[in-house]
Structure 1
Amino acid sequence: MMKCMILAVASLLGAVSASAQTHYPLQIENCGRKVRFEAAPERAVTIGQSATEILYSLGLADRVKGTSVWFNKVLPRYAEVNAQIPRLADNDPSFESVVARKPDLVAVQYEWHVGPNGVVGTREQFADLGINTYILPADCDTKDNSTGGDGTRVGAFDPVQVYKGIRQLAEIFDVADRGETLVDDLQATEARAVARAKALDLPKGLKAAFWFSSADIALDPYMAGQLGAPGYMMRALGLTNVVQSDEEWPTVGWESIAKADPDVLVIAKMDRRRFPADDVEEKLKFLRSDPVTRQMKAVREGHIVVMDAHAMSATLRTIYGLDSLSDALAGMTFQ
């Protein structure tokens, strides 16, 4: 009897393992383009921190031959392996530098880097060299990138778009079981963060705003629109976004933000230095000294949350950002 049970369990595990295997050639629909894989990629280059960290999280660091476009330091658990992989650029890499790494896959976070008007290159340019491209669905599902820049959301971001990207990359690399494990972990974190916020019984109508950066500290800031990743975080935790725009990062005057008077202000921390306001200390100094911003309730009451900039994009770090915001709310008192 025991032997039969063992054989039955072994047979079941074998069936599960077999069902998780990728059968090549694999063809998937990706951001309006059909992509075909004859085998699992051996050499990947990433353009975008999210693509990099997903591949690391899937245990595929050994396949990554170059990275680029970094907002924050890599997740601490991948610091050692990341240090061994060439960084092609902190920001936008050149087409030539990507191709020089001889990739058979270029995994991309933003369509504006590799797309119809890609600043690095088009998908056709890479295809002409026999190089597959994969763009994370979180940047094209429910989003119109034809407007240029950060694009415009045509529907609200949902973590399912991140999970879709994880599952598809896992399938492409024939590690579907690892993809499911990662999605399960992220969903558990998401559920825990939402449950924590609900238990706080926050006042209804609590208002929030997310400040990413500013072209100049004195200019109108780039604030989170209502349909991007920060909008999702606010909705999930019962907060109302004071910025009612569908743009990903519209510029909004401080006078308008101050008039809306958010109860909570979330500001981006990043290692990137394109603008002075990329420095979180410059943000804090401005908020506390400017005659308009220092009168806002969030500033007066110290309800300022510092969050990794990468969590404010539609990435797996959005889930960690949700968790950190939920935790921060637990330490605040609202009148």
Structure 2
Amino acid sequence: MPLRRLAALLVTLTLPTAALAASTVYPLTVDNCGEPLTFTHAPQKTVTIGQAATEMLYALGLGPNIVGTSLWFNPVLPQYQTLNNGIERLADNAPSFESVIGKRPDFVPVQFEWMVGPQGAVGTREQFRDLGIPTYILPSDCEGKNNRVGADGTRLEAFRIDTLYKSLRQLAQIFDVQDRGEHLITGYQTRLAQAVTQAKAHANPPVSAVFWFSSPDINVDPYVAGRKGIPNFMLDTLGMRNVIDSDEEWPTVGWETIAKANPTVLVIARMDRRRFPADDHEKKLAFLRSDPVTRNMDAVKNNRIVLMDASAMESSVRLFDGIEQLAQATQAQ
């Protein structure tokens, strides 16, 4: 029995009969960011562009179907370390078009539209389509968002957690593992509700925050989370306030402006990526504690700084780790 089918069967045996979802009927057509994708069978050779897409497939038990990964921010989740070690990493950042098609994939899930969009850093969807390779962009990065405005896109609507669940459901349907998808979603919904309950149980005076992802240079304006993105969803859900007022996904905002807003908490991204100097969280911390503007902020003086994996700030299975971490941080305020 193929490994994917065996994994799906083991999960199915643990679920109540009422929870079982219908099997996929091929050919299957799904709408993805305005483009119809048709599958005649479950993909057998997948290349992922983006850690979020990779770990979603790992969580769905689809590791044996993956032949290459790319674009990583953090080490893989511990439970997938052994599996991940056996799969080729094409690039830590954006892979080349040639390296992706060289694996002869029949499916390419993508975390960010700018990787395969009109100005695709890897290639365009048309280039892949011409080779008969469907590309699937995670809905969270295209629905209610204009990726042509701002460095990382601009949110036309606030991020909705339903788009993350949609990714899981559609990927599960494409691979015919719907039961596993629904099982995962139920678990994530439970964790989200528990985090909200935890935050409410330790209600304090209103907490404000800033998420600092990175900076082109350590001494220039930082990339911080806008008011409609994933980090803002986390704050809103827990009754916290984002002091940044921008619809861009990760706008640059001056430290003088941030210091004037004086957020209660600073959340800074921890990552292995070293595209920019400020990708290093130790350099972020050193800057915050030495710069004449930032060192006088209440959050810095009182060490109200949360180190969070960069992947937990994205629409990924790690988002729930991030929101649990924030809920715990509210207890200390």
What residue is the counterpart of 1:287 in the other structure? 288
What residue is the counterpart of 2:243 in the other structure? 242
Q: Output the amino acid matched with 1:34.
A: P
What residue is the counterpart of 1:275 in the other structure? 276
Shift of 1:15: 8.4
Shift of 1:147: 2.3
In 2, are the aligned partners of 1:112 and 1:148 still within 8 Å (CA)?
A: no
Q: Distance in 2 between matches of 1:68 and 1:202?
A: 41
TM-score normalized by the length of structure 1: 0.93
Superposition map of 1:147-296 within 5 A: 147=149, 149-204=151-206, 206-296=207-297
What residue is the counterpart of 2:136 in the other structure? 134
Q: Distance in 2 between matches of 1:240 and 1:213?
A: 20
Structure 1 residue runs of 5 or longer lacking an equivalent are 1-9
Q: Distance in 1 between matches of 2:84 and 2:75?
A: 10
Q: Secondary structure of the residue that 1:210 maps to in structure 2?
A: strand
Q: Distance in 1 between matches of 2:55 and 2:237?
A: 24
Q: Secondary structure of the residue that 2:267 maps to in structure 1?
A: strand
TM-score normalized by the length of structure 2: 0.93
In 2, are the aligned partners of 1:112 and 1:149 still within 8 Å (CA)?
A: no
Q: Distance in 2 between matches of 1:141 and 1:324?
A: 27
Structure 1 264/51 Cα, relative in aligned 2: closer, same or farther at 3 Å?
same
In 1, are the aligned partners of 2:114 and 2:121 still within 8 Å (CA)?
A: yes
Shift of 1:261: 0.3
In 1, are the aligned partners of 2:215 and 2:276 still within 8 Å (CA)?
A: yes
Rg larger in structure:
1
Shift of 1:76: 0.7
Encode CA deviations 1:114-138: one digit per residue, 9 max, x unaligned: 1222111111111111111111101
Encode CA deviations 1:80-127: one digit per residue, 9 max, x unaligned: 110110000000000000001010000100000012221111111111
Shift of 1:157: 0.6
In 1, are the aligned partners of 2:19 and 2:179 still within 8 Å (CA)?
A: no
Q: Distance in 1 between matches of 2:263 and 2:73?
A: 26
Shift of 1:142: 1.4
Q: Distance in 2 between matches of 1:38 and 1:185?
A: 30
In 1, are the aligned partners of 2:150 and 2:251 still within 8 Å (CA)?
A: no
Q: Distance in 1 between matches of 2:82 and 2:323?
A: 26
* Count of residue pairs brought into register by the alignment: 319
Q: Is 1:66 paired with 2:90?
A: no
* Segment drifting more, 192-201 vs 308-317: 308-317
Instruction: Give the fraction of aligned pairs with identical amino acids, expressed as a percent.
Output: 58
Q: Secondary structure of the residue that 2:183 maps to in structure 1?
A: helix
Q: Is 1:321 paired with 2:318?
A: no
What residue is the counterpart of 2:308 in the other structure? 307
Q: Distance in 1 between matches of 2:255 and 2:17?
A: 60
Q: Distance in 2 between matches of 1:195 and 1:14?
A: 30
Q: Secondary structure of the residue that 2:41 maps to in structure 1?
A: coil
Q: Secondary structure of the residue that 1:50 maps to in structure 2?
A: helix
Q: Distance in 1 between matches of 2:39 and 2:328?
A: 42
Q: Distance in 2 between matches of 1:149 and 1:83?
A: 32
Q: Output the amino acid matched with 1:275.
A: F
Q: Output the amino acid matched with 2:56.
A: I
Shift of 1:160: 0.9
Q: Secondary structure of the residue that 2:114 maps to in structure 1?
A: coil
Q: Distance in 1 between matches of 2:248 and 2:181?
A: 30
Q: Distance in 1 between matches of 2:259 and 2:276?
A: 22
Q: Distance in 2 between matches of 1:317 and 1:14?
A: 29
Which runs of 4 or more aligned residues in structure 1 lie more than 4 Å from their structure 2 counterparts after TM superposition?
13-17
Q: Distance in 2 between matches of 1:148 and 1:329?
A: 31
Q: Output the amino acid matched with 1:132.
A: P
Shift of 1:54: 0.3
In 2, are the aligned partners of 1:207 and 1:264 still within 8 Å (CA)?
A: yes
Q: Output the amino acid matched with 2:225.
A: A
